[in-house]
Amino acid sequence: MQKWIYSNKIIFCILLLFFFLFKNLNAAVIKEAAGKNGMVVSANALATEVGLEILKKGGNSIDAAVAVGFALAVTYPYAGNIGGGGFMVIHLKNGKNTTIDFREKAPLKATKNMFLDKNGNFNPKLSQEGTTSAGVPGTVAGLIYTLKKYGTMKLAEVIQPAINLAENGFLLDYATAESFKNTLHDFKRYPSSYKIFSNNGIPYRTGEIFKQEDLAKTLELIKDEGRDGFYKGKTAQLLIKQIQSLGGYITQKDLDEYEPVERKPVYGTYRGYKIVSMPPPSSGGIALVEMLNVLENFHFTQDEWGSSKYFHELAETMKFAFADRTKYLGDPDFYPVPEKGLLSKQYAESIYKKIGSKAIPAKEIKAGNPLKFQESMETTHYDVYDKDGNAVSVTTTINSAYGSKIVVDGAGFLLNNEMDDFSSKPGAPNQFGLLGSEANSIQPQKRMLSSMTPTIVLKNDKPFLIIGSPGGSTIITVVLQVIMNCIDFHMNIKEAIEAPRIHNQWLPDEIYAEPFGLSSDVRDNLIKMGYKFGKDRTLGLAEGIKIDQSDGIIFGSSDPRGNGLAKGF
């Protein structure tokens, strides 16, 4: 009898293990969801579940967004973080719109030519690898600031799920295990990283439990001491020790002086809808509205989607906006960004008039002159919407996949490599092929330019669309096309996100399309118009929420290009 009970217990445990494994491995299959009380969409199923539980407990969208942010630092180290930064766009139920800038900053010891060799040539290894590439992190300060001002729950409540996930571990899905394995050669250069992302020197496998005890302790310090648990004391000491041991620049003074900034959103309109997006030092909001302003002059019919004419008009518009981005956009605390001119409908019309039936070579496109119109910026994204109408759109990053690849020894979190987003030398592209000018030159305590484009679209002053994406320079064009898919072509959120996309960023002078994204005749027509094509690649991983205010139904969708989860209730 005892033997029978013992055997059944073993069988029960095995079945239970398979249940949780199956649940974890397949949660991301749910790419679209509907609800009436709230919705969370993120790049990681476990983080989405964390946010949804906060909403179910009575928290608002801000509470849930902060909880998701901390959870992503544990479950999605590819881009989720506490060692990086990001941007948040918020629409509150009382109608207020605001943004939180928690972008990383250049250290006080940074200099304009810090990434140039003795001959004055740009050395990308210095800006992309090692601790010299790390900016002063802003995520922890930004999330705590936002929670205190706009949330309803205590920090201890919203951070505890992340602590539990780090301390107890979670089952690795296939994509995460493969990502660890594929990056192991980079992690191997840093003992502090290799011991975290390998299983005693062996690659992690799908279904194994991944624990992060050092990260759990760091999150506990943040829970107990707030921002001081990260920017002061033990965590700060470990961070500075790691930075300085590898020749980096961040000091205690940098950590002491870091503050997030609450900024007025970038506003625009498109066919009667109101666009609320991120201002500089993100280039995203201005570039997005500039492109929508240009495209508003075209008239698209339902059957034009996917045609060579449609993609031509998109590509030309993108080129002009990216030329302006290169010249005019940077940290507004250091450079006078001509925001009003770039957002002007009249300026957009002047660009529209230059677009004909053929591709304009990039060398013939220069940044425009928005000044005369003055009077009239690897990453992850998530969205939250609650029953009261509070909407949050968040894009956060450590730049490359796993940032600098360096884990702070004893603290368990990855350092960013955001310094590469500065213009280290005019005419020298960063890892995304983006050029820059004096507007985005390196200066101490300056925020580097970004392409992150967290955006909320309002219809009759109520949230209609909450959207964003990772993807470096492609973020802006991904968000643009999802918005147009919903407004111009009346797609639902799932269709709008799943639809193939293109990207053109002026230089290099190429269109990027997705595998199976363009038919051969459309591609041939575009080549006849004068376009060149770069190598096909996946463009972005959009996460979006669309709200039907008339029926009170919230629809969410996570991009099938990734492994995220949309879930509502």
Q: What is the pLDDT of residues 351-372, one digit of tens each?
A: 999 999 999 999 999 999 898 7
What's the pLDDT score for residue 429? Answer: 74
Q: Which of 218, 379, 474, 477 is catalytic?
A: 379
- The confidence score (pLDDT) of residue 30 equals 55
pTM: 0.93
Asked if omega into 281 is within 30° of 0 (cis), the reply is: yes
* Residues 435, 436, 440, 442, Cα dihedral to 10°: 80
Evaluated on CA atoms 56, 384, 30, 169, the torsion sign reads: negative
Which residues, in sequence order, are CB contacts of 227 under 8 Å at separation 6+? 140, 141, 144
pLDDT digits (tens, 9 = 90+) for 437-466: 789 999 999 999 999 999 999 999 999 999
**Residue type, position 105, single letter:** K
Structural domains of the chain sorted by starting position, each given as residue range(s) with its CATH number in brackets? 263-379+451-568 (3.60.20.40)
379 a catalytic residue: yes
Distance CA 167, CA 170 (A): 9
Listed in sequence order, the residues at least 6 apart from 284 whose beta carbon sits closer than 8 Å to its beta carbon are: 87, 277, 278, 377, 450, 451, 452, 453, 454, 455, 475, 476, 479
pLDDT computed for residue 372 by the predictor: 73
Cα–Cα dist 547/551, whole Å: 9
Spatial contact of 531 and 511, defined as CB atoms under 8 Å apart: yes
| 88 bridge partner residues | 100, 394
Low-confidence spans in the chain with pLDDT less than 50: 1-29, 375-377
What is Dmax (Cα atoms) for the chain?
90
Other beta carbons within 10 Å of 273: 17
